[in-house]
C-alpha cells in the first residue's frame, strides 16, 4: 500500500517519462523477438515480406520510433501546456504505429497490448493534468 501512495505522489512529468521508457523497451523487445522468429530474417533478406522494405520505409519507421525515444526527454523538459498536448499527440501517433504495423505473432500481440495500455495511460495522465501542478 505504501508503494501505491508513493507512485501517486510521483510528479506527472516523471510518470509520463517513465511510461515512455516502458513503451520503448516493449517496442524494442517486440522487434528483437520478431527477428528470431523462424523465417523472419530469411523473408527480409529474400524480399518476400508482405511489404517492400526500402530506404523510404525504413526512414518512416525510424521517424515513428524516434517519437517515443524523444518523448522520454520531452516529457520532463517541456512546459506544462505544450507537454500535455505533445504527450497526447505523440501517444496517439504511436498507438496507430503499434497497431497498424503489428503482426499476429503472440509475442507481438502481448507487447503491443502493454504498449497500448501505457500509451492510453499517458493520454489519460496528460488529459487530467491541470494547471501544471505536479
pLDDT the model gives residue 133? 74
Q: Has residue 30 been placed in a domain?
A: yes
Residue 2 located in a structural domain: no
Tens digit of pLDDT for each residue in 70-104? Answer: 999 999 999 999 999 999 999 999 999 999 887 88
Domain extent at residue 34? 14-128
Whole-number pLDDT of residue 113: 96
Q: How many separate domains does the chain show?
A: 1
Model confidence at 134: pLDDT above 80: no
**Does 6 reside within a domain?**
no
Please give the model's pTM, rounded to 2 decimal places.
0.85
In this predicted model, what pLDDT tens digit does every residue of 14-23 receive, in sequence order?
Answer: 999 999 999 9
What is residue 53's three-state secondary structure?
coil
SS3 content of the chain, % helix, strand, coil (to 5): 80, 0, 20
pLDDT at 115: 97
Query: What is the rounded distance in angstroms from the CA atom of residue 94 to the CA atom of residue 31?
Result: 15
Amino acid at each position: 500500500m505504501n508503494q501505491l501512495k508513493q507512485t501517486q505522489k510521483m510528479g506527472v512529468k516523471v510518470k509520463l517519462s517513465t511510461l515512455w521508457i516502458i513503451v520503448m523497451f516493449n517496442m524494442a523487445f517486440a522487434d528483437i523477438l520478431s527477428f528470431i522468429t523462424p523465417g523472419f530474417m530469411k523473408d527480409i533478406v529474400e524480399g518476400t515480406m508482405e511489404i517492400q522494405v526500402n530506404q523510404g520505409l525504413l526512414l518512416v519507421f525510424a521517424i515513428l520510433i524516434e517519437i517515443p525515444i524523444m518523448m522520454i526527454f520531452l516529457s520532463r523538459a517541456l512546459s506544462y501546456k505544450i507537454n500535455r498536448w505533445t504527450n497526447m499527440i505523440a501517444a496517439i501517433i504511436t498507438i496507430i504505429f503499434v497497431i497498424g504495423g503489428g503482426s499476429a505473432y503472440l509475442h507481438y500481440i502481448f507487447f503491443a497490448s502493454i504498449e497500448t495500455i501505457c500509451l492510453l495511460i499517458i493520454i489519460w495522465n496528460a488529459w487530467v493534468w491541470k494547471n501544471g501542478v505536479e
